Structure 1
Amino acid sequence: MKKAKKIPGIPEQTRGAFHDTEDRKDFMVPELAVQKFEILKERFFSINYWKDYCGGLSAEFKLYDQSGSFVDRKPKTGDYVRINIPAPDNTDANYDWVKIVNMDDQTYNDDELERYLITCRPSKAPGSRNNHIAHFYSAESTSNFVITLGQDYIKIGVYGRNEIPNTSRTGFWGKIRNFLISLFGGYTRLAKIQWKSLTEGLLDF
């Protein structure tokens, strides 16, 4: 049975589904890797424009601050990301929401010259009066985005961990929606396609 990769800095896989989605570019000239990584880094921190790199069938991502106001800047811990996925509407709030719960720039081995991590967790919509999780997955799940500059390569990975359908902390129609998607397995396949289009798109120079 395939196991989730152990990636430094991201939560360990303990239950539910997972995915590891990665893309990498290698370079004969190390200086070129550095140049391309600067472009990748700018794209990585421009969440509002991710759809532009993924193509027309991609989900749309928009960055919001803790008060629920749209912002066009680099993300920071505590921000929210509103996701409009090409799937049945989330009738609780019309969008899926995640909160950025961790960011770091640690490297973990000698081959890594730079590394950046963003960890997101399903959440309620910012400013919402209830505690309903406005997302297909429960709050135990995380999506972890990592970009790395190596000696002669650049790499991006999206790692889903502990992906459990949200059937408790949501409204009635949200439960129905999540159950149906879980039953047919559609969201898992859709998410894999989405994250693959993101990793490929951000590395398409």
Structure 2
Amino acid sequence: MKAKEIPGVPQQKKGSFHDTESQKYFENSSAAAQQFEILKKRFLNISQWKEYCGGNLADFKLYDSYGYFIERDPQIGDFIKIDIPGPGDTEAKGYDWVKIISIFSEKNDNYERILISCSPSIVPGEPKDYHIAHFYSAEATSNFMILRQDNCITTAVYGRNESPNFKTTSVNITRNIFIAIGGMMGASKIQWKSLTDGLLDF
């Protein structure tokens, strides 16, 4: 099976990938547009994702480039702190971090799409030569998308180029291998499905 080709999502070149999607249909495009406005607020409120999606989801919190927790819509250059179930990165106090590298949106009468792409990163505020604080390597991306097309709304997460992060301490390398293998075998897809389903549970 090949990775889907989605505009704005990096091409799959190496490692594993996943395409996780959920859809909801409405009576007409007008009803879909109304619900999409609710979905946009949920989608852009990253720090509340766990509340929308229930206990099965990792916890996500939005931070600025200086490492301060923020409550606003995400911007390019912001960071997301992730608290996944199980052992975390020892150097990052048990958390994994990603940086928002792009935000893309487009809209017309019967179509609207927002795409947020993230890649594994250092802890914000640390020196640039600090280890990547994530179980995947720097080449991986997580791409979060919401889409309205006619009377259908889609929520999706597309993972690309996922391979274990070996540029860290020996303890974290072991941890990263186990979590990455679990993700490649479908554990992460369960997490992302909780998110895509939960965001659509109005």
TM-score normalized by structure 2?
0.94
Which shows bigger deviation, 50-59 or 7-16?
A: 50-59
Give the SS at the match of 2:106.
coil
How far did residue 170 of structure 1 move?
Answer: 1.6
Match for 1:177: what amino acid? R
Q: Which residue of 1 aligns with 2:187?
A: 190
Query: Map of 1:120-139 to 2, 5 A cutoff?
Result: 120-129=118-127, 130-139=129-138
Q: Distance in 2 between matches of 1:193 and 1:67?
A: 32
Q: Distance in 2 between matches of 1:113 and 1:187?
A: 32
Q: Are the aligned partners of 2:29 and 2:110 in contact in 1 as well (CA < 8 Å)?
A: no
How far did residue 112 of structure 1 move?
Answer: 5.6
Give the SS at the match of 2:61.
strand
Question: Is the alpha carbon distance of 1:150 and 1:15 closer, same or farther for their aligned partners in structure 2, counting shifts above 3 Å?
Answer: same
Q: Which residue of 2 aligns with 1:204?
A: 201
How far did residue 164 of structure 1 move?
Answer: 1.0
Give the SS at the match of 1:194.
helix
How far did residue 181 of structure 1 move?
Answer: 3.2
Which runs of at least 4 in structure 1 moved beyond 3 Å after TM superposition? none
Match for 2:138: what amino acid? A
Which shows bigger deviation, 172-181 or 131-140?
A: 172-181
Q: Which residue of 2 aligns with 1:96?
A: 96
Query: Map of 1:43-58 to 2, 5 A cutoff?
Result: 43-58=42-57
Structure 1, unaligned runs of 5 or more: none
What number of residue pairs does the alignment pair up? 199
Match for 1:19: what amino acid? H
**In the alignment, structure 1 residue 117 sits paired with structure 2 residue 112:** no
Q: Distance in 2 between matches of 1:132 and 1:143?
A: 19
Q: Distance in 2 between matches of 1:152 and 1:179?
A: 42
Query: Map of 1:20-99 to 2, 5 A cutoff?
Result: 20-93=19-92, 94-99=94-99
How far did residue 119 of structure 1 move?
Answer: 0.1
Q: Distance in 1 between matches of 2:163 and 2:113?
A: 28
Give the SS at the match of 1:105.
strand
Q: Distance in 2 between matches of 1:137 and 1:74?
A: 25
Q: Distance in 2 between matches of 1:83 and 1:98?
A: 8
Q: Distance in 1 between matches of 2:27 and 2:179?
A: 44
- Sequence identity, in percent? 54
Q: Distance in 2 between matches of 1:18 and 1:164?
A: 9
How far did residue 201 of structure 1 move?
Answer: 0.1
How far did residue 57 of structure 1 move?
Answer: 2.5
TM-score normalized by structure 1?
0.92
Q: Are the aligned partners of 2:140 and 2:160 in contact in 1 as well (CA < 8 Å)?
A: yes
Give the SS at the match of 1:106.
strand
Q: Deviations over 1:144-200 (max 9, x none)?
A: 011111111111110000001101x22222112112334xx3233321111000000
Q: Which residue of 1 aligns with 2:7?
A: 8
Q: Are the aligned partners of 2:135 and 2:177 in contact in 1 as well (CA < 8 Å)?
A: no
Match for 1:89: what amino acid? G
